[in-house]
């Protein structure tokens, strides 16, 4: 028996692992004398350990995704309590077809380990020469990558999948997490802010809307803009890439420009580092904005390098009492 994925787009080149893509649910089976290459799904075990990073509440697989792994034949092991912080009980995973095991057993018996945070040195040692699919951040974790190489392990870095309009788009875990971060940044800011986001007219008087400044208009920034607008705030946004102006204005926010001609668009849709002259002009503009806005949310990032410092201590000192800043760049 041979499994083939339907869809002309997938026949144009090498296929990415089917079990990672939630859209590839249409598998059809047909008879063939030719034996498929590689290891059949029924002989592979996928393990999902509990995240060990402090305060991490996410888990690499939900009961729904476990069902999608079990359906084509994978065996799935879930470490006991792995989904509790995400409100997924052990019984929910068992109902989906997974087996609940202790951590040591999971690392010993799994052919493929799914993880969110980069593994620790001890976890990599437990992995041996098998397969890891995780956020690895190779540029920031060169020692980890070297250890994986020395052990002859196979590793897929989810953070290195190109964010392009291609078959890799459905594997873009960076965007899905950035979208959540932008939304959560506004929620956290509203919890700390001392009054309403939306303006109100009451019998006792008028309450002006909150003024929110979002710095960086990538996925996280756009999510923050949308959330703040939905809550009734007046939103302004700033980015080194002029091409994002149309997106910002389409969402009902005001795009702030810098009085210095330089394009910050980099490869892969990310921003690049700007010149000292541009930063000086940007600081002058942002200093004036800090005196006026109530909330600042910074989202700007440069892959593999420290996030740029767009809001300085001097700017924060000029903000009104009770103002809030949320920094996603740290």
> Cβ atoms within 10 A of the Cβ of 255, count?
16
Residue 87's pLDDT is 96
Separation CA 303–CA 219 (nearest Å):
14
pLDDT computed for residue 200 by the predictor? 86
How many CA atoms, within 13 angstroms, populate the side-chain half-sphere of residue 147?
18
Q: Is 113 helix (H, G, I), strand (E, B) or coil?
A: strand
**pTM confidence score:** 0.75
**What's the confidence (pLDDT) of residue 263?**
59
- Between CA 146 and CA 156 the distance in angstroms is 14
Span between the terminal Cα atoms of the chain, in Å: 50
**Which residues touch 306 (CB under 8 Å, ≥6 apart)?**
none
Instruction: Give dist(CA 51, CA 57) in Å, integer.
Output: 8
Domains of the chain, first to last: 40-171 (3.40.50.720), 177-327 (3.40.50.720)
Q: What is the pLDDT of residue 276?
A: 74
What is the set of active-site residues? 163, 169, 172, 175, 270
How is residue 41 annotated by DSSP?
G
CA gyration radius, the chain = 24
- What six digits make up the tokens of 145? 């990558």
Q: CB 236: neighbour CB atoms within 10 A?
A: 21
Contact 131, 111 (CB under 8 A): yes
pLDDT number for residue 222: 94
Residues 93, 95: Cα–Cα separation, whole Å: 5
Contact (Cβ atoms closer than 8 angstroms) between residue 228 and residue 197: yes
CA 277 – CA 258 distance, rounded (Å): 11
The per-residue pLDDT string of the chain (330 residues; one tens digit each, 9 = 90 and over) reads: 333 333 343 334 444 444 444 444 444 554 555 666 788 999 999 999 999 999 999 999 999 999 999 999 999 999 999 999 999 999 999 999 999 999 999 999 999 999 999 999 999 999 999 999 999 999 889 999 999 999 999 999 998 887 666 666 778 888 888 899 999 999 999 999 988 899 888 788 888 899 999 998 889 999 999 999 999 999 999 987 878 889 999 999 999 987 666 655 554 545 556 667 777 888 888 999 999 999 999 987 776 677 777 888 889 999 999 999 999 876
């Amino acid at each position: 028996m041979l499994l083939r994925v339907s869809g002309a787009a997938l026949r144009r080149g090498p296929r990415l692992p089917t079990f990672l893509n939630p859209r590839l649910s249409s598998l059809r089976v047909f008879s063939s004398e030719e034996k498929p290459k590689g290891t059949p799904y029924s002989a592979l075990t996928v393990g999902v350990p509990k995240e060990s990073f402090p305060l991490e509440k996410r888990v690499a697989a939900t009961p729904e995704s476990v069902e999608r792994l079990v359906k084509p034949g994978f065996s799935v092991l879930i470490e006991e309590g792995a989904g509790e912080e995400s409100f997924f009980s052990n019984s929910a995973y068992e109902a989906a077809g997974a087996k609940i095991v202790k951590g040591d057993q999971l690392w010993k018996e799994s052919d493929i380990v799914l993880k969110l945070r980069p593994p620790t040195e001890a976890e990599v040692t437990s992995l041996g020469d098998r397969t890891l699919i995780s956020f690895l951040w190779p540029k920031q974790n060169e020692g980890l990558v070297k250890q994986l190489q020395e052990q002859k392990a196979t590793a897929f870095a989810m953070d290195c999948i190109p964010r392009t309009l291609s078959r890799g788009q459905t594997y873009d875990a960076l965007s899905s997490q950035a979208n959540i971060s932008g939304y959560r940044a506004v929620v956290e800011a509203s919890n700390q802010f001392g009054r309403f986001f939306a303006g109100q007219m009451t019998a006792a008087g008028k309450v002006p809307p909150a003024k929110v400044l979002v710095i960086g208009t990538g996925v996280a920034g756009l999510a923050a803009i949308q959330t703040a607008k939905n809550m009734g705030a007046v939103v302004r946004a700033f980015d080194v890439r002029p091409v994002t102006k149309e997106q910002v204005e389409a969402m009902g926010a005001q795009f702030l420009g810098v009085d210095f001609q330089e394009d910050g668009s980099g490869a892969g849709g990310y921003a690049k580092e700007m010149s000292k002259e541009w930063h000086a002009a940007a600081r002058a503009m942002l200093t004036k904005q800090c005196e006026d806005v109530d909330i600042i949310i910074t989202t700007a990032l440069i892959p593999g390098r420290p996030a740029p410092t767009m809001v300085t201590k001097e700017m924060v000192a000029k903000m009104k009492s009770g103002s809030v800043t949320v920094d996603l760049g740290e």
